[in-house]
Structure 1
Amino acid sequence: MKIKTITCHDVYNVGASLQAYALVTYLRKLGHDAQIIDYKPDYLSNHYPLWGLGNPAYDKPILRELYNLAKLPGRLKARNGKRKAEYDRFTAEFLPLTPRRYTSNDDLKQNPPEADVYFAGSDQIWNCFFPNGKDPAFYLDFAPAGSVRASYAASFAMDDIPEEWKPDVKRRLSGLDHISVRESSGVAIVERLGIPGAVQVMDPVFLLDSEAWASIEKPVPNTEPYVLLYDFDRNPEMVRFARRMAEENGWKLYSVLSCKECDRCFEQDGPLTFLNLVHHAQFVVSNSFHATAFSLIFRKQFVVFNRQEHINTRMRDLLYGLGLRDCLTDSAGRDCPRIDYPQILEKLDEQVGASKAYIENVLSY
């Protein structure tokens, strides 16, 4: 069976890259001819610009040019740097893309990639605070009549969508044959729109087991026992907690992102190094959904710090659904509960099994 998936697969984000890989790889393991649609509209294509304003205060004649000239050396270094190269290498070697690149929904409609089944997802493809959440392509608007249109673990990344977008989202979701979302809040959103039958499934990274992930990870040389920190928000409480955990146990402190308080940082590395870092950590401190997901996959002890933003629903749903609400915190002074994995794995296996059953149902048309 020919299957095409569409997601934000090439945005230089570790979670986006690994979830795209996971879904298409799982479908291929089932024996299907699966590819990711190489969909790169303008808003997903300018991650390493050489020219542009990051601060509107500089948007004035002459000042604008001086600002860009000052930023140019750093931007050239980033565009030619290790991090971009690592992600580009991952995309080239591990993501089976369609031969043709598409740049708009109209482009897709005029010459849709051939498939029997189309999957939209996973990750925040329906987040209406981002352009992709308003893009008909991520609701499979382009899929030809007679094909099966389904979502897999699509995320709105919020508890509700803005009122002004509800009519459009309802119309677009009504064109899908099967709807699955990543969070229970997503199920509630779809139900409030008057569309029945939406189900909650696990993020696609859970479709592959720890051995499958370990087989592609990139080893990190010269490591000592360490706490791994992944902090998007530069939260001082997280750093204090991670440093205390490291010092109390005689461990080093490593960080996925830049961190002046850490012993080693890996901000210039890619998805395969990230897998290795989580796999071999003694403990993981993060506010990252996918760091939490891989901590579970690799059976790590971990704690998750809240993020004060719209996308916190996905973390809450994952942890609460597994009975791990005590692993979610805001305070560096809080004691860390030990995760009892034999108890957690029963719930996790049940949810992953239901997710695989959903895919099987979509493909049994």
Structure 2
Amino acid sequence: MKIGILTFHCANNYGAVLQAYGLQEYLKKLGYDTYIVDYRPKYITSQYKTFAKELPQGNLPMKVKHLLRNILIIPIRKRRCKVFNLFRRNRLKIFKLNLNNSENDFDSFIFGSDQIWNQSLTGGNLDKIFLGDFPAANGKKLIAYAASTGSLKNISNKSDIIDKLLKFKAIGVREQSLDIFIGNNIPNSIHSLTLDPVLLAGKQIFEKLIKPIYPDTKKKYLLLFQLGYDIHVEKIASQIANEKGLSLVKISSYFESLTDSNIISDASPEQFLAYVKNASYVVTTSFHGTAFSILFEKDFNTIGLSETVSERMINLLLQLGLEDRFYNNSNKINTTEINYRSVNKKLEQLRIASRSFINTAFA
């Protein structure tokens, strides 16, 4: 069976490329001829231009300051683009498919993982490509796996997504609220809460990617991994690091710092994995930072920044009995050692359920 995966593989984001790799490798292990369809929407690729010409609203000094900053960070952006492009070239089996041509030999298209149905990330509207609404998908088996809206609040026209999903044979999602919504609105559908491909694929698939990292991580450290940058989160991480006698290593997916040279913005996906695996502790605002902390059995804390960002993290932590590792200013931070024997038992049960979903979907 020939399968095409459509997901956010073109984002220069650790979670995006690694979850794509995880699903690709898992399906390959099942014996399927699996490819990543090279769909590159502008709302994704425009975020990772070497030079961003767009200027913010505001007065002239603000615009000049922004322009100068964009010029100064060009070398950082170039390095980051290079390592992500190398990962895609070397690790992902990319297939350039004409989505407007119904003549192709794919048997099935699988949509996900990642927030492919989050309108706040897809240019303000649902992307019909990620809902199987394109000629090349006509007559093919359509499956969603661990697809995400981020939150149902991110979907403005819920009837539209229902209409599109009626064509799907099986719908696997990451948020419980989305799974309930699908069950209530598409009652005869095969639907399920499914594990992100990072956790489905397992530790061994990612360990073989790990490359050596920078010399300063030979000492014990706390890894702070933020999607953007929040000074409050950094203060929390610094406090935990001090309490545990750890140095602080900081990685950000999007923030290129001109004032803090200690923030690592250009690590490759392979190096990112090494930073997580070798950390003594992790603090993160990222779903995939959370997922890899669990995969590599790290003591960690996930910091919630907003309800719409946090729902999928909370769902995962609740399923694994790790809800006390989530912090959002309303609870006390738990920094005790995690009992991974218990966590891994729950995780294996979730893997079994997700494997069963995939087997049913492709039957």
Contact 2:301 2:334 in 1 (8 A): no
Counterparts of 1:36 and 1:185, CA distance in 2: 28
Cα distance, 1:94–1:198 mapped onto 2, change above 3 Å: same
The superposition leaves residues 293-335 of structure 1 with CA deviations (integer Å, 9 ceiling, x where unpaired) of 0011111111111112522111110101111111111349634
Pairing 1:53-92 to 2, within 5 Å after superposition:
53-57=54-58, 70=68, 73-74=71-72, 76-79=74-77, 81-92=78-89
Q: What's 2:20 paired with?
A: 20
Moved more, 348-357 or 209-218: 209-218
Pairing 1:201-240 to 2, within 5 Å after superposition:
201-222=194-215, 223=217, 224-240=219-235
Counterparts of 2:66 and 2:275, CA distance in 1: 35
1:303 pairs, out of 292, 295, 301, with 301
2:238 pairs, out of 231, 239, 243, with 243
Contact 2:108 2:140 in 1 (8 A): yes
Cα distance, 1:249–1:161 mapped onto 2, change above 3 Å: closer
Residues 1:165 and 2:157 aligned together: yes
Q: What's 1:33 paired with?
A: 33
Counterparts of 1:69 and 1:239, CA distance in 2: 27
Moved more, 310-319 or 237-246: 237-246
Counterparts of 1:260 and 1:135, CA distance in 2: 35
1:131 pairs, out of 106, 122, 130, with 122
Cα distance, 1:180–1:34 mapped onto 2, change above 3 Å: same
One-letter amino acid matched to 2:53 = G
Q: What's 1:315 paired with?
A: 313
Q: What's 2:361 paired with?
A: 362
Q: CA deviation at 1:146?
A: 3.5
Moved more, 295-304 or 129-138: 129-138
One-letter amino acid matched to 2:248 = L
**Same amino acid, percent of matched pairs:** 30
The superposition leaves residues 75-130 of structure 1 with CA deviations (integer Å, 9 ceiling, x where unpaired) of 64345x221111111011011010x2x6xxxx513256531111011110011223
Q: CA deviation at 1:233?
A: 5.0
Pairing 1:263-274 to 2, within 5 Å after superposition:
264-274=262-272
Contact 1:141 1:172 in 2 (8 A): yes
Structure 2, unaligned runs of 5 or more: none
Cα distance, 1:2–1:268 mapped onto 2, change above 3 Å: same
Contact 1:327 1:337 in 2 (8 A): no
Q: CA deviation at 1:232?
A: 3.2
Moved more, 245-254 or 66-75: 66-75
Q: What's 1:200 paired with?
A: 193
Q: CA deviation at 1:286?
A: 0.8
Cα distance, 1:6–1:112 mapped onto 2, change above 3 Å: farther
1:279 pairs, out of 277, 280, 288, with 277
Q: CA deviation at 1:14?
A: 0.7
One-letter amino acid matched to 1:35 = Y
One-letter amino acid matched to 1:32 = Y
> Over the residues paired in the alignment, what is the CA RMSD in angstroms?
2.7
How many residue pairs get aligned? The number is 353
Pairing 1:252-271 to 2, within 5 Å after superposition:
252-257=247-252, 264-271=262-269
Structure 1, unaligned runs of 5 or more: none
Cα distance, 1:262–1:172 mapped onto 2, change above 3 Å: same
Counterparts of 2:262 and 2:238, CA distance in 1: 13
Counterparts of 1:119 and 1:325, CA distance in 2: 30
Q: What's 2:183 paired with?
A: 191
Q: CA deviation at 1:268?
A: 1.4
Q: What's 2:112 paired with?
A: 121
Q: CA deviation at 1:140?
A: 1.3
Contact 1:160 1:185 in 2 (8 A): no
Counterparts of 2:359 and 2:340, CA distance in 1: 27
